[in-house]
Amino acid sequence: MPLVTSKDLLLAALEGHFAIGAFNANNMEQVQGIVDAAVEEKAPVILQVSQGAIRYAGLDTAAALVKIAAAEANVPVVLHLDHGTDVEQNVRCLRAGFTSLMFDGSKKTYEENVATTAKVAQIAHWCNIPVEAELGKVLQSTDGVTEKDVQAAMTNPDQAQDFITRTGCDSLAIAVGSVHAMQQAAAKLDIARIKAIREKVSIPFVLHGSSGVAEESEVEAIPYGITKINVATMLNVAFAEGLRKAMAELPDNVDPRKWLGYSRDAVKEVVRHKIRLFGSSGTVTSSGGLVSPKTVHRAAHLGGAEE
């Protein structure tokens, strides 16, 4: 299928009380592992490319890898920009065929974040492409953050309402207890805060830094509107572990395909696990459309999605 935008998928997930995995990809093996898992699980999937991935692979190469994988897949695939830093980068990605954008103004002042997010949303909406924004700050574990820092950076519900009204963004990354680049899944999300933001804001929410969050806490947050869950660090860990295992088992090998196949398989299994955890497994019909959100919602309460 051609790429689809994240707009309708996230709204369907919101209504169906499931979440769509947004998996970071930097190379061909990661793209293939992610898409293969989504196809086998009959799940919609978001592949996202960060600024670092664009520097590594080149913008057009990164976009082309995802477009080709999507074309060969019979499930909806979104190509998303993760943490776009400015207007120009978002426009470049729009031109390169991305079907979902993000402007992250969380390090800027509130008014600068509002102004730039509104500008990106206006341009993207001219092309029918949705935009994710960030309010509050999802911090980086490499910056040595404390529990107090995480608390202080959380999203304010009243400010979120003002932000959505003034920017017109389509989904919102909220800071509710997760931290980027954690290798231990131990953090608990602030469910009361997610509920409080949900009372003020009706658009889909995005969870960043999920690799550091306890899985039961992730699942608990989904019915309150966490509809896109970003997974990056955990995939990198799986890729690296696969490679180490391959090199240990095949120490004399010189064919990179034999090593990287292990990494691709390891990525695929993590993605499969997350898709099942998020409740999006089995939400795509044989014609490539989504099953009715109400059906998924009902099935989720009975212990598993079904067609």
List interacting residues with Zn ion (CB under 5 A).
Answer: 208
CA–CA dist 190, 169 (Å, integer): 23
29 Cα distance to chain centroid: 18
- Residue 82 annotated in active site: yes
Q: Which CB sits closer to Zn ion, 80 or 193?
A: 80
Q: Which CB sits closer to Zn ion, 208 or 268?
A: 208
Q: Which CB sits closer to Zn ion, 53 or 246?
A: 53
CA–CA dist 291, 288 (Å, integer): 9
Q: Which CB sits closer to Zn ion, 193 or 208?
A: 208
Q: Which residue is nearest to Zn ion (CB)?
A: 208
- Closest distance of CB 92 from Zn ion, Å: 19
- Closest distance of CB 199 from Zn ion, Å: 24
Phi-psi region of 144 (alpha: psi -120 to 50; beta: other; left: phi over 0): left
The secondary structure of 45-104 as a DSSP string is EEEEEEHHHHHHH-HHHHHHHHHHHHHT-SS-EEEEEESB-SHHHHHHHHHTT-SBEEE-
- Closest distance of CB 288 from Zn ion, Å: 28
Q: Is 179 exposed, middle or buried (0-12, 13-18, 19+ CB in 10 A)?
A: buried
Q: Among the options 8, 36, 82, 190, which is catalytic?
A: 82
Q: Which CB sits closer to Zn ion, 44 or 209?
A: 209
Count how many Cα atoms sit within 13 Å of the Cα of residue 81 in the half-sphere of its side chain: 34
Q: Which CB sits closer to Zn ion, 5 or 48?
A: 48
Distances (CA, A) of 116 to 94, 95, 133, 296: 16, 19, 10, 36
Compute φ and ψ for 156, nearest 5 degrees: -90, 125
Spell out the alpha helix ranges (H) of the chain: 6-16, 28-41, 51-57, 59-71, 87-95, 110-126, 147-152, 157-167, 191-200, 215-221, 233-249, 256-278, 293-301
Provide CB contacts within 8 A for 85, sequence distance 6+: 51, 104
State the catalytic residues: 82
